[in-house]
Amino acid sequence: MVTGERVRDVTFPSVDVVLSGTFAGPASRDPAPGVVMVGGSGPSDRTNDNFFPPIQRGLVEAGFAVLSYDKRGVGSSSGDWLAGTIDDFAADAAAALDFLSCQPGVQAETTGLFGHSEGGWVVLRVAARGNVPWVVTNGCPGMTPAAQDRYALATALQAIAGITPHDVEVTLAAYDQLVEAGRRGADFDEATQLVGSFSIPASVEVLFGEYWSETDENLWEFTKRKQDHDPIPDVLRLRCPHLATFGGADELVPVADSIGLFAAAACHAERHPRATLTVELFPHADHRVQVHGGTALVPGYVETLVRWITERRDASSQS
């Protein structure tokens, strides 16, 4: 906690749930820009597994008001994230934005969205639909979840000692069959039978077994709904500046491909003139822009966020 900051637990309604979170603002009552922080995939709470607090502290120290919240069905929020969709999560993020914008001392016109990983897809959808002054994504894939997960699996396979190209090919082919099963609407029993029919190489049995052992019927149905979400149509509809940050050593997201997809969308003839794209790449940082396997953010990350958001705020006040 920053000395002198204002911190309180809050609740606010979304379409069909009540969300709980934490509001943190600077001690000064001077009007402050706001930042809504949206977590990544799975049962992410208001801290996003302790990734958010150091970013939040840095933003509050720089004079920003920050709101983070438990995903629906997580922590103190009602609902069930496994029953949700990207649209549901976007509705929740929009509700958080409305709530923060209405808080005393928060400048609604300069209050925007920060989304990590899956949260990037969520905030891009909100920004594509509404009047959002700016949006920040961190480690957000520029492709579908199915394509991103395939990349993550391929990266994990390559790290296995003694694995052969054939083993990688067979395992990825099995993954592709699961994706196609989801596309044709296969239920969990059919998917389980399909997995049982795979001839997974011994070198990757443990890895693939861990992947599937975490899947139950609810997660399978959620995965089917989400796997072909394409963020680029939302990126094309943006009407505000977009900062995309990445760790150069991210093993979960194809960073170069994602940057290329975002850049191609930014060059589209029908892109709104206010929808600028800024990319910040932090070499050697991972998916959470942390370095050397630790929990510390890469040096300069929070400062980059503060500088970019401040520049957008100043540009808005001068227009």
The reported pLDDT for the residue numbered 204 is 86
- Token duo for residue 43: 């049962």
Residue 293 has pLDDT above 80, yes or no: no
259-283: b (≥16 Cβ within 10 Å) or e: bebbeebbeeeebeeebbbbebebe
36-60: b (≥16 Cβ within 10 Å) or e: bbbbbbeebbbbbeebbeebbbbbb
**CB-based contact 39:45 (threshold 8 Å):** yes
| pLDDT interval class at 214 (50, 70, 90) | confident
pTM of the model: 0.95
Could you tell me which residues come within 8 angstroms of residue 48 by beta carbon, excluding any fewer than 6 positions away?
37, 39, 40, 68, 116, 119
- Token duo for residue 139: 């480690």
The reported pLDDT for the residue numbered 318 is 57
Give the pLDDT mean for 65-69.
98
| pLDDT interval class at 33 (50, 70, 90) | very high
Per-residue pLDDT tens over the stretch 253-269: 999 999 999 999 999 99
How far apart are the C-alpha atoms of 172 and 117, rounded to whole Å? 22
| pLDDT interval class at 317 (50, 70, 90) | low
Could you tell me which residues come within 8 angstroms of residue 49 by beta carbon, excluding any fewer than 6 positions away?
none
| pLDDT interval class at 128 (50, 70, 90) | very high
